[in-house]
Amino acid sequence: MSSTTTRAFAPGRVNLIGEHTDYNDGFALAFAVQQGVVVRAESIPGELILATALDLDESDSFPAAAPPSAAGWRAYVRGAVAELRAAGFAVTAARVEINGTLPMGSGLSSSAALEMALCLALLDLAGAGTPDVIGLARLGQRIEHAWLGAQTGLLDQLACLAGAPGEAVLIDFLTLELTQTPLELPECRLVTVPSGSSRVNADSGYNRRREECVEAANRVGAQSLRDVSIQDLHVLPEMLARRARHVITENGRVLQAAASLERGDMEHLGLLLDLSHRSLRDDFEVSVPAVEATVAKLKAAGAVGARMMGGGFGGTVLGLMPSDAPIPAEATVVSPGPGAHLARLGRADGQ
């Protein structure tokens, strides 16, 4: 049954380990954080979507039937409406308000959180039923591809949807199997620190890396880098071999990290984070000086392990800190919270 007012919450994500593996049919171990985006949507007469980003104090208005392209946060709203309709879901005129505790550009994938909250709220409003987790994640991915020009994988959306308090999720991007994994960190905690570098040219750099991975797989005659081993790399030009080596070794580190977590072995988990960072910096070449400085600062503050997180070319750094070590002033402690969900408000709600 459709409601006239609805509200959806979708969290940001931390990727513990497994970077640039999602679009290579690899593995990642990620979790939804407590912070997230809230979308409140209300049916209105007419044919328009009226959207407001409350924290930016900006608005948008466009026809639900034919959203024109746009930049920034508007692209997510217009893209969500367009992609939902393209997938066969009815989207009707609505007033949409965006709010929450996850600012855009926080490095915790506010974009996937926004996409998922928008999709859940608009689907609920139209009483159109909801696709399963994989279908919903793919919708978000199509918004990124078609409306933002970022050829991203499914990591952010799946982590956002599969979140559960106290748990991370091990994702196999080949089979799309999701395995819930308790995230217990004996005598440690995870923090994120913004590097201060705003990911200039991040999308073009990201898309280029994706192409390089496809080319590396093609040249060894494999469907994806999941089917490639270190022994195959000698046929590749040096740069492509390094790109592929990052992905292959990173997949191994994800599985080792899951085992370290199970054993409660924080030293080993920290080492894997350090090795992941080194591989992203030297083989995949997606680090920048501000990220290096942030990693060094966390290590100097006593981090058991630290690494750049997300697509690279700037962004946020993740650190595994001993619980008794003071955390740097700009750091945020992150822990697993619930996945994206609806909070129905009913017909009379005015909030």
Cβ neighbourhood burial of 323 (10 Å; 0-12, 13-18, 19+): exposed
- Tell me the closest approach of the beta carbon of residue 21 to ligand GLA, in angstroms: 6
When asked if residue 339 is in the footprint of ligand GLA (CB under 6 A), the reply is no
Binding mask 50-79 toward ligand GLA (x if CB under 6 A, else -) reads: ------------------------------
Which listed range, 129-137, 149-157, 171-179, 225-233, lies at the site for ligand GLA (CB under 6 A)?
149-157
- Tell me the closest approach of the beta carbon of residue 294 to ligand GLA, in angstroms: 17
When asked if residue 153 is in the footprint of ligand GLA (CB under 6 A), the reply is yes
Q: From the list 115, 156, 232, 283, which residue makes contact with ligand GLA (rule: CB under 6 A)?
A: 156
- Tell me the closest approach of the beta carbon of residue 40 to ligand GLA, in angstroms: 25
When asked if residue 25 is in the footprint of ligand GLA (CB under 6 A), the reply is no
Residues 100-119 that bind ligand GLA (CB under 6 A): 109
Is 22 marked active-site?
Answer: no
Q: From the list 110, 152, 276, 294, which residue makes contact with ligand GLA (rule: CB under 6 A)?
A: 152
- Answer yes or no: are the C-beta atoms of 280 and 19 closer than 8 Å: yes
Q: Please tell me the count of residues contacting ligand GLA according to CB under 6 A.
A: 11
- Tell me the closest approach of the beta carbon of residue 188 to ligand GLA, in angstroms: 22
> What secondary structure does DSSP assign to 6-49, as a single string?
EEEEEEEEEEEE--S-GGGT-EEEEEEEEEEEEEEEEE-SSSEE
Which listed range, 120-128, 151-159, 240-248, 300-308, lies at the site for ligand GLA (CB under 6 A)?
151-159
Residues 293-312 that bind ligand GLA (CB under 6 A): 310-311
Distance between CA atoms of residues 310 and 18, nearest Å: 9
- Answer yes or no: are the C-beta atoms of 186 and 268 closer than 8 Å: no
When asked if residue 336 is in the footprint of ligand GLA (CB under 6 A), the reply is no
Which listed range, 14-22, 56-64, 190-198, 224-232, lies at the site for ligand GLA (CB under 6 A)?
14-22
Query: 130 by DSSP, 3-state: which?
Result: coil
> For residue 309, which amino acid is it?
M
- Tell me the closest approach of the beta carbon of residue 53 to ligand GLA, in angstroms: 20
Q: Which parts of this chain interact with ligand GLA (CB under 6 A)?
A: 19-20, 22-23, 109, 152-153, 155-156, 310-311
Give catalytic residue positions: 156
